[in-house]
Amino acid sequence: MRNASPTLKAIAAHLGVSVTTVSRSLSGQGARYRISEKTQGAVRRLARRLDFSPNPLARGLRLKKTATVGLIIPDVSNPFFARIAHCVTIAARDHHHSVLLADSQEQTRLEIDSIDALLRRQVDGLILCPVGIADAHLRSLVRGPVPVILVDRHFPRLALPSVTSDNVGGARAATSHLLAAGHRRIGVLQGLPETSTNRDRLTGYRSALAGRGVRTDPRLVAGDTFLEDSGYRAARRLLRTRPRPTALFALGNLIALGALRAIAEAGLRIPGDISLVAFDDHPYADHLAPPVTTVAQDADALGRIAAGALFSRVRAQSLNSSQRHVVPTRLVSRGSVQPVSRASIQQQEKP
Amino acid sequence: MRNASPTLKAIAAHLGVSVTTVSRSLSGQGARYRISEKTQGAVRRLARRLDFSPNPLARGLRLKKTATVGLIIPDVSNPFFARIAHCVTIAARDHHHSVLLADSQEQTRLEIDSIDALLRRQVDGLILCPVGIADAHLRSLVRGPVPVILVDRHFPRLALPSVTSDNVGGARAATSHLLAAGHRRIGVLQGLPETSTNRDRLTGYRSALAGRGVRTDPRLVAGDTFLEDSGYRAARRLLRTRPRPTALFALGNLIALGALRAIAEAGLRIPGDISLVAFDDHPYADHLAPPVTTVAQDADALGRIAAGALFSRVRAQSLNSSQRHVVPTRLVSRGSVQPVSRASIQQQEKP
DNA sequence: ATGGCAGGCACAAACGATTGTGCAAGCCTG
DNA sequence: CAGGCTTGCACAATCGTTTGTGCCTGCCAT
């Protein structure tokens, strides 16, 4: 396999024709340039026999197209992003493109470097899951050389197309679910505060509360990143507030993990002592003790839609119309939410 | 950022020198070719000011080196492989290389295509997690144009370097753990039978049994892939055998997931009715009901070591000495294993 | 004055592809 | 038979680097 694919030159020499002729015969331009059917046939046969395929580097150099897309992700080892990566690579294969993967390790600095490196390599398009808050470095992408699609997080002020979950709706559904079970003091374990995902989820949470006429209490919101440790610390803090929240809403899968740990350490039982809902579904949710009610994001859809949007732009040579795509979420009800007893509601409403 | 980086030619024109001079000044070859310090300084200043960096395509074309490595994985959305991908991309960044990612979707056909595509793109090295059994297509890689490292699975008959977990040792430890708790009928939920991982884990299992003088019973081994569904079906089957196994050993994380489902459906309790040990640790293992004892693979180490080995070969231009690297596993004891009561042991030893 | 040597750079050929244009041979037409 | 049209392909530039070699100038020694 692939012991140095032959070149146009080699094929041309074998057949006693010019590289021009070979190139045109193989690229389907034969007719336009009046290469005889006989010659074209001979070229194609030999090319097939030698398993010729044009050198992508040379091609890219000449054409300024590399049949390559960039994918920048904060952390491939996060199942949510991994799933997106999976879908993107599969879509890329379908479009005969390769994927250059970069892991920004949740650092804006590395995200900038990665964008730079991929653009240098002349990717034909870029799918980016931005790490967070800063967007100055994204500004130049708007009128940049290649189409860009933002996934998971978006920047309202930036005219870049994006594909995100319905974070507002998902959070509202989760919160409503808790409200319907009688919960009124619902603690929120948030992620990185300035990100669009976090903001949207908080918005959904507040909107649900407002819908029921429940006042939001800023002291019920804790946490500062989407990492497990932040979830752990935030949960510990909220569990110590009095009166204690009767339910926690974790705004991310790792945060939920931290919350589970904190709740276990506090000697509390789910859902007897406290209810829990988490953003992001995962395969183990069913087998936790108890199974955890989650807001499932359709990561597959995010990846697929982003890739679809990107490739349609790549094909159409069109740039970044700032279209926004929102993918619905789904509330997966399991056993981690329990109705609040009347007594405890009244106890809560007094202070 | 990156509004079409200038070219050597542009810099040369600006300074009234030749591209040769610019190239040599920037590549540190200035002294060897007697470019005066003054000229070199001017070139370097301008290059810095214009944020010049050589076009990787042109460079690759000329040098036959692309500063790119290929990474082929059966399924990036599997946390184990995702972790490997994460470590590889980070190592690549450290070595100023980019990563071309391909997802073979557990299909040999796609694995072949991916290898081909990446070699065409002239990657400088390849990290491959082979999907399975077939190895004919890997034969040509042994004396191929670039260094290749196999990760997770290896092929004893192939002179390709590999980095794998100590599957034999891990399985032996898990099995010994069960034996020490008095288990004698230990069912195995295996993965894809002909793979090295599966073989090695079975070997470890049998070796532990043999060490205790326990006869192995082929009817206690079930399953045919590493996927959840296989684990589910295999567990269902084993749970119906009489006398029922007192413990199950799942040879993979997804398999364990299927086993959990099957056990729950059968109305059995872990560890009261049946004990469980699983290959592959994961963050949720602690919070399952009950926490599951696992054989933790150090996926980070696999990725890091593989990348390290690859880059040292890339640097040294050395090819594929068939060195094998084995990374230790760690038994993480949680609550899913319970000592067998004397009565049930005797009951088991009778038939 | 001439030969030799070193310094300082430029020329030009790669690497493989794509593409606008040019050119020869054959045929037809008037 | 001259001019023009068609057929069938080749020439050569180009993308942006890298690199072996060649060339000129000036200086020193003989």
CA distance B90 to B80: 16
CB contact under 8 A, B76 and A61: no
Q: Which pLDDT score is estimated for A304?
A: 97
Protein chain A, residues 56-115, with a C-beta closer than 7 Å to any atom of nucleic acid strand D: 58, 61-62
3-class secondary structure, B237: helix
Cβ–Cβ under 8 Å, residues B137 and B111? yes
Confidence (pLDDT) at B344: 55
Query: Are the Cβ atoms of A86 and B101 closer than 8 angstroms?
Result: no
Q: Tokens at residue A215, please?
A: 């006042």
* CATH 3.40.50.2300 residue spans of chain B: 66-165+299-328, 167-298+332-349
For residue B64, the chain A residue with the least C-alpha distance is A57
Q: In the prediction, which pLDDT does A342 show?
A: 56
Residues within 8 A of B (CB atoms), A 261-320 only: 261, 264, 282-284, 286-290
Whole-angstrom Cα distance, residue A132 to residue A140?
Answer: 17
Residue B42: its pLDDT value, please? 96
pLDDT for B259-282, tens place per residue? Answer: 999 999 999 999 999 999 999 998
Architecture of domain A67-165+299-328: 3-Layer(aba) Sandwich (3.40)
Task: Kindly report the bases of strand C lying within 7 A of a protein C-beta atom.
Answer: 7-12, 14-21
Would the Cβ of B65 be found within 7 angstroms of any atom in strand D? no
B2 in contact with nucleic chain C (CB within 7 A): no
Axis crossing angle, helix A228-240 with helix A253-265, rounded to the nearest 10: 40
CATH T-level fold of B8-54: 434 Repressor (Amino-terminal Domain) (1.10.260)
Consecutive 10-residue runs of chain B (351 residues): their mean pLDDT?
Answer: 78 96 95 93 97 97 97 94 98 98 95 97 97 89 94 93 97 97 96 93 98 95 95 97 95 94 93 94 84 95 97 85 93 92 52 40
Output the pLDDT for position A250.
97
Distance CA A247, CA A277 (A): 8
For residue A317, the distance in angstroms to the closest alpha carbon of chain B comes to 17
* In chain A, ranges of CATH 3.40.50.2300 domains: 67-165+299-328, 167-297+332-349
Fold classification of B66-165+299-328 (topology level): Rossmann fold (3.40.50)
Q: Which of A164, A153, A167, A175 is nearest to A293 (CA)?
A: A175
State residue A349's pLDDT score: 46
pLDDT of residue B290: 80
Strand C closer than 7 A to residue B5 Cβ = no
Look up the protein residue whose alpha carbon has the minimum distance to the C1' of C14.
B62
Please state the separation of Cα A29 from the chain's center in Å: 40
| Pairwise CB contact (< 8 Å): B93 & A101 | no
Does B2 contact A102 at a Cβ distance shorter than 8 Å? no
Ranges of residues in chain A whose predicted pLDDT is under 70: 1-4, 342-351
Q: How far apart are CA B176 and CA B166, in angstroms?
A: 15
User: CB B257 to CB A122 under 8 A?
Assistant: no
Residues of A in contact with B100 (CB under 8 A): 98-101
CATH code of B167-298+332-349, in short, is: 3.40.50.2300
B185 three-class SS: coil
CA of residue B61 to C1' of nucleotide C15, angstroms: 5
Return the pLDDT at A350: 42
State how far Cα B61 lies from the chain centre.
31
Measure Cα distances from B271 to B88, B183, B190, B266 in Å: 38, 12, 20, 14
Report the pLDDT value the prediction gives residue B351, as an integer from 0 to 100: 40
Q: Do A119 and B89 touch (CB under 8 A)?
A: no
Q: Which CATH class is domain A167-297+332-349?
A: alpha beta
For residue A236, the model assigns a pLDDT of: 97
Chain B within 8 Å of A341 (Cβ-Cβ)? no
Containing H/E element for A331?
A: strand A330-332
Q: What pLDDT was estimated at residue A3? A: 55
- CATH 1.10.260, chain A: domain bounds: 8-54
